[in-house]
Each structure stands twice: as C-alpha cells, then as structure tokens.
Structure 1
Amino acid sequence: MRRLLLTAAVATTAALTLTACGTTEPAADDAKKKSAEPITLTDASGAKVTLDGPAKKVVGTEWNVVENLVSLGVEPVGVADVKGYKTWNTAVPLKNDPKDIGTRGEPSMDTIASLSPDLIVATSDLPPAAVKQLRKVAPVLELKAADAADPIGRMTQNLDLIARATGTTEQAGKLKKDFEAKIAEGRKALSDAGLANAKYAFADGYVVSNQVSIRPYTSGSLIGAVNEKIGLKNAWTVKGDASYGLAATDVEGLTKLGDVQFAYIGSDGDKASTPFNGVLAKDAVWTSLPFVKKGNVHRLPDGIWMFGGPGSMATYIDSVVQSLTK
C-alpha cells in the first residue's frame, strides 16, 4: 500500500446552532467557514487525500487535468509542457502564465516543490514511483487517465473529483449541463442534415522515420464515445486498448473502411502530425480510397485536445457538425 504523506487535518469545531435572539450568522460568514472546512477525497488509486480547504495553488501533470482546472476557473500554478499544451489545446487556453514543470511523463520534482502547491493533480499515466515522489512534495489527487469501458463517464468523474478538491462543484455542474446540451444540439444538426448513423472514422497520424503510423479512435475512445452520442456510427473494426480505446494501423489498413466520412486532427505546430494532407498526398493507396476520391476527408481545426474535458469535446462537436454539413 502506497504511503501517503498527508495526515488527516484536525476537524474544526462542530457547527453552531444560532438561534439566540432570533438571529443568524451572515451568509458571507457561512460561506467563509464552509470554505475553511477540511476536504477528504478518495482518489482513483484508493488513497485518501485530505486538504485543509479548497485547493488554490494547484499543479497539473497532464493536459486533461489542466484543461479541467482552467474550465473550473482555477488557474494552475504549474503545468507539464506548457508549450505543448498551448499547441494542442487552444479550445481551452491557459489564462495565466504557469510554471513549466517538465514533461508529462517525467515532471520535475524540484520545480514542483518550489511552487509550494496545495495540491498536485496527476493521472495513472505517471509511473507509481513518480506519484510516490510527488506525495512527498504535496497532497496528490491521482485520477484514472482514461477508461475505454466508459470514456465519457471517466471524463466527468475526473472533473467532479477536481471540482470537489478545489471547491468548484457548482461550475462543474454547469460544465456537465452545457456538455449534454451540446451533444443534443450536435445530434439534431447531423440528423437534420441527413447524417444520422453516418459511417464515420476519426484518426490521427504521425510520420516517424518516413513511415506513416495511423491511430484509429475506436468506440472505446473519448472521441469515439462522443461520436456515437451525436449519432455517428464508428466505422473502425479494429480493437482499441483498454484505457484510451486507441488502435494502430497503416495506410493499407484504411482500405477496410470503405465509403465513410473520415476526419482527423493534426497541428501545424507539429509537422509530423499531419500526414493526411502531407506525405500521403501522393501515396497510391491513400489516393485510391473511396472517401479520398469523394472528398470526404475532413481536417478538423487545430487545438482540440482529443483526450480533454467537456470544453474540448464541445468544440470537437461543433467542428464535426460544421465539417460534415457544410
């Protein structure tokens, strides 16, 4: 069992019943007292995390964590790979200038310690040894990075845990409500355009050593789950991994898709991420594909993080609807 650094904070005095003289404590004082109460959470690892009150100085080691913090109105003091976040997630941009704490896979313990955070929010993508080291710096809320069995449920559960730790549950409720409304809006728009149950395949790709690798987003991916919520039929038949619902194929593998709507996201800030409108332009297999011949290849806007939170997914829905119905 992992050793926790935090011990439970001493409980505050019991709530007072203010009935004398028919008066009550001002609402502002009630809110202040409530905000000062200790918060105890159980994170995805099963660890108990106790905070003196809502965390204000928060470090995020993964971009979906950072996105949720920003969406909840919490400006993180430390972010892993700030440049990368700004490149890949412009749907929910940073509103402050956080300290870069290193890479997402290997954050700098010294840098994080120098920030004296109230809370570090990490994910299960970090090695257990790294999480153990982080717990020596500050309280750590470890989230399950992804779950192909329930991608949207995992996204909202992570949002809720962060909201409870930061005292922003009201904002979390609004984000979830807005996301559900966006799903309904997108589903109606696609249906009205005659695209209900349209076969659709989303992927991203990379060029490594002059070889093109393609990553299909199956029904177990967050994007795959969102696609189905808005009424699209996932055309991928390959099996994705148990966490992210991602698979691997090559250009030849695309021949199994048939006549579909094909969409992808790349980044002009990362040239290796745009093979579909780059090196494949002259590839005989690519140019022979039915959806390529028909012009049903859609590059969605840069800056939508495919593993993000409600903010990224809402922007994704808008982009899909616009691309498929224009």
Structure 2
Amino acid sequence: MTRRPITRRLIPSAIAVAAVFALAACGTTEAPAAGSTNGAALTVTDARGEKVELAGPAKRVVGTEWNVVETLVTLGVDPVGVADVPGYTAWDTAAALPKGVKDIGTRGEPSVDTVAALNPDLVVATTDLSESAIAQLEKIAPVVVVRSADASRQIDQMIDNVNLIAEATGTESAAKSEIAAFEKAIADGKQKLAAAGLAGAKLAFADGWKEGNQVSVRPYVTGSLLADINTELGLVDPWALDGDKDYGLASTDVEGLTKLGDARFAYIANNADAGDPFADGLKDNAVWNSLPFVQNGQTYRLADGIWMFGGTAAMKQYIAAIVDALTD
C-alpha cells in the first residue's frame, strides 16, 4: 500500500529486451531456457480489465507489493524478485521469502533494469503502482495488476486477488485450500470469542507514528481490512470516523482516542521500524494514561510482523493474535 507514514509502510534508463516464452522442442533433452514456462498458454483478465496473455502458468515471477508477494509464497510460488526485501522481512512474516531472492527496489519505484535482468515470465503489481511504472514493466514481461484494496468489499477483494494470482501461476488448488483455511480461521476465532463472552465486544484498531513530540494516530475504521475481519469475528468497530475509499483508513490524534469510551484498543508496531508509538511515545501523556482501555489493561500490542494490508496468510496471523490477546 502506498500510504505514509511509517518508513516501511511507504508503498510507493534503458529497457531490457522482452522475456522469451519458448517451450523446449519436442523430444529435446535440453532444459527450458530461463523465463520459459511449462503448460498451455492462457489468458487472464486483471483488475484493470486488461487481458494478459501468458505462455503458460508463470514460474519466474516478480512481485512489486508485499501482499502479492505474500500470496505468491503462500501458493507455493517462490518469487525471483521482490520490492524492499528488508521491509517485507520485517513487516510480513506470514510467508518467508526464499533465500537469494533479488531486491528490485522500492514498492513505489521498482528498478526496471533489475527486473529485466531477472528475465521474469510475469510481474504481479497492484493498482498502487503508477501507470507509468506498469507501462515500463510491461516492456519486460506480462504484468498482472490486482486491486490493492476496496473499502466496499475488503475481504472479497483479498480473495479475488488470491484467485487471480493463482490463475496466472497455475496454483488454483493451493488457492482453494488457502481460502478454505482462512474461512475456517474466521469461524474458529468467532466461536472462541463467543465462548469467552466477547461476542459484540467493541474493539478499535489503529497504528501510529511519532514525529518529534507529536504522535499521529491512524484508525482502521469500518471498511478497512482489519475492521472487517473483526466484524466477521463478531466484534464491533467503535470508530465514528470515515475512512478512505480504498483502505478504510482515517486520521486522528491522542485526543481523538477519548471518543472510544469503553472500547478495547489493539495495534501493531514494529521494533525494526520506529518502535512503539503508543506505549513508548505516549507513556508520559496525561490523555493517553487517562483512557479507559489503558487504565483497564485492555490495550493490546500484537506481534511484530503481522502485515495489516496482507493476504490470507497475514490475516490468519492476525485472527490468531487478536483472539489470543482478547481471551488471555
């Protein structure tokens, strides 16, 4: 995702010759050339409505955004190139990268030359990447674009993305199993929360960052992926704020937290990137310390490395973490 604020959460020369998609001749004993694919040619329609032609299920795949990289690995496709490898490693631990994966630069501005040198047979990008960057990548290899987020149908959009990536990589069976596992995690989590008497409990989620002495708070309101997951778990979103049309994110400050009343409060920070803006950044703040969820011990920092904008694997991590936190 291309939104600010925490360093790693930023989402966003000559072009090499196009990748070769040639199958080895029938009867030959030579290995397929790098960048070639096995299987029948296929055409997939991506989030832009573009029909993307592939010589076969893609094997050498580059991912320009962490959610698509996570999905590739989850489906059993080891990407050959990933944007901001250190950032992915710190922020998305749901699907570990293979050793030796090439860093292609930033998520908002991948290196065209680096991608070309990898000779990919597919690049998977999101609608957060600029059209100009996508156009440059299309000179190297076919590009399938998934919609980054949709606040009107966040969970369905995530599942659509999994299915589209699976179609382009021939991993439909793995996608079916993964989606079923995600749906089971939702059902099991909802049951555990209900058994603990937490059905209908109010839970606010946010992240934040500190600049100087000021802590900014970013609420994940209804329409965000995590708030929608919480709703599926039987929880209630107490934020009375409007989020953006893609990610369902809003903006407030410490004073804005006073409007949450008796709600519980959960957040994710990262020791590898700016630390804890709440427990550390607000430890001496009188407003923070007066909040009911702080005084009642109902503030939950979830584990580092759960990517709030991730795919089904990250969301399974989140479900396990929030259920454990609330029922501990």
TM-score higher than 0.5 here? yes
CA–CA separation in structure 1 for the residues paired with 2:148 and 2:48: 11
Find the residue that maps to 1:323 and give its secondary structure.
helix
Query: Where has structure 1 moved over 3 Å in runs of 4 or more?
Result: none
CA–CA separation in structure 2 for the residues paired with 1:112 and 1:95: 17
1:286 match = 288
Q: CA deviation at 1:277?
A: 1.1
Q: CA deviation at 1:57?
A: 0.3
Give deviations 1:250-291, integer Å, cap 9, x for gaps: 1011010001110000101012x5111111011011001111
Find the residue that maps to 1:69 and give its secondary structure.
helix
Find the residue that maps to 1:215 and give its secondary structure.
strand
Q: CA deviation at 1:303?
A: 0.5
Give deviations 1:134-165, integer Å, cap 9, x for gaps: 11111000111000000000000000010000
Q: CA deviation at 1:48?
A: 1.1
CA–CA separation in structure 1 for the residues paired with 2:97 and 2:118: 18
239, 242, 253: which is aligned to 1:250?
Answer: 253
1:96 match = 99
CA–CA separation in structure 2 for the residues paired with 1:300 and 1:316: 8
Q: CA deviation at 1:35?
A: 5.3
Task: Output the aligned Cα RMSD.
Answer: 1.6
Give deviations 1:42-91, integer Å, cap 9, x for gaps: 11111110000000000000000000000000000000000000000112
Identity value in percent: 55
Q: Structure 1 stretches of 5 or more lacking a match?
A: 11-33
Does the Cα contact within 8 Å between 1:221 and 1:245 map onto a contact in 2?
yes
Q: CA deviation at 1:209?
A: 3.1
Does the Cα contact within 8 Å between 2:223 and 2:247 map onto a contact in 1?
yes
2:123 match = 120
CA–CA separation in structure 2 for the residues paired with 1:201 and 1:95: 35
Find the residue that maps to 2:270 and give its secondary structure.
coil
Q: Work out whether 1:80 is the aligned partner of 2:80.
A: no
302, 316, 321: which is aligned to 2:323?
Answer: 321
Look up the equivalent residue of 1:151 and give its one-letter code: Q
186, 192, 202: which is aligned to 1:189?
Answer: 192
Give deviations 1:193-247, integer Å, cap 9, x for gaps: 0000100000111112332111100110111110000110011111000000011
Does the Cα contact within 8 Å between 1:78 and 1:101 map onto a contact in 2?
yes
Q: Work out whether 1:56 is the aligned partner of 2:54.
A: no
Q: Work out whether 1:106 is the aligned partner of 2:109.
A: yes
Larger Rg: 1
Map residues 201-280 of structure 1 onto 2, 5 A cutoff: 201-271=204-274, 273-280=275-282
Find the residue that maps to 1:233 and give its secondary structure.
coil
Q: Work out whether 1:176 is the aligned partner of 2:195.
A: no
Find the residue that maps to 2:205 and give its secondary structure.
strand
CA–CA separation in structure 2 for the residues paired with 1:35 and 1:128: 30
CA–CA separation in structure 1 for the residues paired with 2:101 and 2:154: 28
Look up the equivalent residue of 2:302 and give its one-letter code: L
161, 176, 190: which is aligned to 1:158?
Answer: 161
Paired residues, number:
296
CA–CA separation in structure 1 for the residues paired with 2:109 and 2:43: 27
Look up the equivalent residue of 2:78 and give its one-letter code: E
CA–CA separation in structure 2 for the residues paired with 1:258 and 1:227: 18
Q: CA deviation at 1:112?
A: 0.3
1:20 match = none
1:31 match = none
Does the Cα contact within 8 Å between 1:75 and 1:96 map onto a contact in 2?
no
Q: Between Structure 1 and Structure 2, which shows a larger proportion of helix residues?
A: 1
CA–CA separation in structure 1 for the residues paired with 2:54 and 2:60: 12
Does the Cα contact within 8 Å between 2:70 and 2:94 map onto a contact in 1?
no
Does the Cα contact within 8 Å between 1:267 and 1:302 map onto a contact in 2?
yes
